[in-house]
Chain A
Amino acid sequence: MSAQRRIGEPILVVEDVSLSFGGVRALANVSFDVREHEIRAIIGPNGAGKSSMLNVINGVYHPQTGTVTYRGVKRHRVHPHEAARQGIARTFQNIALFKGMTVLDNIMTGRNLKTRTSFLEQAIWIGRARREELEQRRKVEEVIDFLEIQHVRKTPVGRLPYGLQKRVELARALAAEPDLLLLDEPMAGMNIEEKQDMCRFVLSVNEEYGTTIVLIEHDMGVVMDLSDRVVVLDYGKLLADGTPDAVRANQAVIDAYLGVKH
């Protein structure tokens, strides 16, 4: 794969992360890394801890033990808005759009960290605040064009069909121009056509902007097509880690997916 050539050093290193909710062990001593510019898939059966892993990476959950090192900075606890500041953006498994706002405004919030003007300048509007707002709008329109959602720009997100909502959520994440993009089942519940579109978008984000992507996906075909390397989780534990082909051939993985008892 051509992408392979430009893949760089690890920018995200997860070390020995464990996370429990009461008695439930969502993650148990998980370690893996993500290299710059790669597409890294996380797969595993339901409840394996995939979403929890993303939540740990961008600070929605704080692991009980273990560390996450991002761009050489090791941290134990990070807040989601700090993770965003460091260039990490994401989408959610259950769409987390701002229901009362239009598509355009939702995507514009993705650029909030690029805003330099204060609320007072914005209240007065003329001058710097207005220029900045236009500049943000221009950037957002690029994302809108890229994801082909021009026709729903002014629609309140709640009125959109599911597939389009997923796309708008991706747009909001892309508007932030992230270095690391976390996608939690971006194609779940989509029909074939929508899935193909989404695959195309994910690939071109990676190729055109060089964005590093961590992707949770159940559809093995998609995973095989898109990802450079795959992490397999099962009951919170790391089951396998390697190229798509190696992982597919791994006996433990086959057993887990076929439901063989541990």
Chain B
Amino acid sequence: MLYREAGQFKATYAEDQQIFPIRQDRIAITALLLVAFLVIPFVASDYWLKAILIPFLIFSLAALGLNILTGYAGQLSLGTAGFMAVGAFAAYNFELRVEWMPILVSWALGGLAAALVGIVFGLPSLRIKGFYLAVATLAAQFFIVWALTKFPWFSNYSSSGVITTGKTEIFGYVFDSPREKYLLVLAIVVLMALAAKNMVRSETGRAWMAVRDMDVAAEVVGIRMMHTKLLAFAVSSFYCGVAGALYAYAYIGTVEPEGFNLDLSFRILFMIIIGGVGSILGSFLGAGFIILFPIFLNSYADPIAHALGIDLPPGMTSNLELMIFGALIIFFLAVEPHGLARLWQIGKEKLRLWPFPH
């Protein structure tokens, strides 16, 4: 079937305001979800689920959180990993100290704790912008990791601040195998992505974008700067916090504050730069790319080089990885700030006209 909008007339504004107004897109996303829920869990190996798909989903969620703040509301942040850490350690402490609390609730509370911390560290954004704000969020990043290491209470007095998460039990059912964990994470991420999409297509999202694009004009149409920016920090940090809790519970199992260092913040920033700043889809594309690309390179760089008659020196692939990432980030920053998501969209627009480009 051709990818076409023609003949699909939107009789009502409700139809026009759907998330996927074009029928082919709706079919594609439904198919993708069906595959993700019903096929992948049964065909993917444990290695793929554990080492690739679960982290992909969790990083997508974190990237989505950052994208809400940076891509939609225009507030650059280098504190993503810090907010994830708050989510992870708060969820751990809720689970540890409040025995009756269901695990989903402690994850949500982890997210809320991160949201509160996000609001506090978002306060400088009311005064400063851009580079200076980035520095302030950098301070958040360092402060959070420092505080979690410094006060042993947060890690229940374990040596070197390492926490080991308990089992994930919901209504008496233990999510134990990679497959079960994958499905749980998938469900959470899909729901949260949907909620994010709903926010950005409503008044909330328009206010964020208005503040991003021109703050004076935003105030003149009646948008409250403080409320809008702090809400962006709160929602963004909530997403990062839940991602952090999932990172601890469903992915790593054993984490220390240092695991949420600045490197991780940058990795997530690169995800949205490559995937697409200000795009929900871009958060997923970016996370997928940054996780899959090194794996791809590791398995195929040598064979490809061989085929070309070149011998790669040992250790070359990891350098190659850095070089390619660097080049890509510069490319996207300079040429296509909306990232892979935009390239995908351009591709679709071309396809819509294909095969008659005029």
Q: Is the CB of B217 within 8 A of A96?
A: yes
Separation of A129 and B205 alpha carbons in the complex (Å): 13
Q: A99 within 8 Å of B by Cβ?
A: yes
Q: Is the CB of A123 within 8 A of B224?
A: no
Separation of A122 and B202 alpha carbons in the complex (Å): 6
Q: Is the CB of B214 within 8 A of A99?
A: yes
**B window 196-210: CB within 8 A of A:** 196, 198-199, 202-204, 206-207, 209-210
Q: Is the CB of B221 within 8 A of A119?
A: no
Q: Is the CB of B220 within 8 A of A134?
A: no
Q: Is the CB of B207 within 8 A of A109?
A: yes
* A-B residue pair count with CB separations less than 8 angstroms: 109
In the complex formed, the residue of A with least CB distance to B226 is A81
Q: Is the CB of B220 within 8 A of A112?
A: no
Main secondary structure of the interface of B (DSSP, over half): helix
Known: A100-B209, A125-B202. A84 touches B17 (CB 8 A): no
Q: Is the CB of A119 within 8 A of B204?
A: yes
In the complex formed, the residue of A with least CB distance to B277 is A100
Q: Is the CB of B14 within 8 A of A134?
A: yes
Known: A98-B209, A98-B210, A119-B235. A84 touches B220 (CB 8 A): yes
Contact of A84 (CB < 8 Å), options: B210, B213, B222: B222
In the complex formed, the residue of B with least CB distance to A113 is B222
Separation of A112 and B14 alpha carbons in the complex (Å): 19
Q: B216 within 8 Å of A by Cβ?
A: yes
Number of interface residues of A (CB under 8 A): 42
Contact of A176 (CB < 8 Å), options: B13, B222, B235: B222
Contacts of B199 in A (CB 8 A): 119, 122-123
Q: A204 within 8 Å of B by Cβ?
A: no
Separation of A26 and B210 alpha carbons in the complex (Å): 29
* Chain A 149-190 interface 0/1 with B at a Cβ cutoff of 8 Å (1 = within): 000000000000000000000001100100000000000000
The 3 closest A-B pairs by CB, nearest first: A84-B222, A122-B202, A98-B213
* Residues in chain A within 8 A of chain B (CB atoms): 58, 60, 79-81, 83-85, 89-90, 92, 96-101, 105, 108-113, 115, 117, 119, 122-125, 129-130, 133-134, 136-138, 141, 172-173, 176
Q: Given known contacts A92-B217, A96-B214, A133-B202, what 18 new A-B pairs fall within 8 Å (CB)?
A: A60-B220, A80-B216, A89-B221, A98-B209, A99-B213, A100-B278, A101-B206, A101-B209, A108-B203, A109-B221, A112-B206, A112-B221, A119-B199, A122-B202, A123-B196, A124-B195, A125-B202, A133-B203
A-B contacts, 11 listed (Cβ < 8 Å): A60-B219, A81-B220, A84-B219, A98-B212, A109-B207, A117-B202, A119-B204, A134-B13, A137-B13, A138-B13, A172-B221
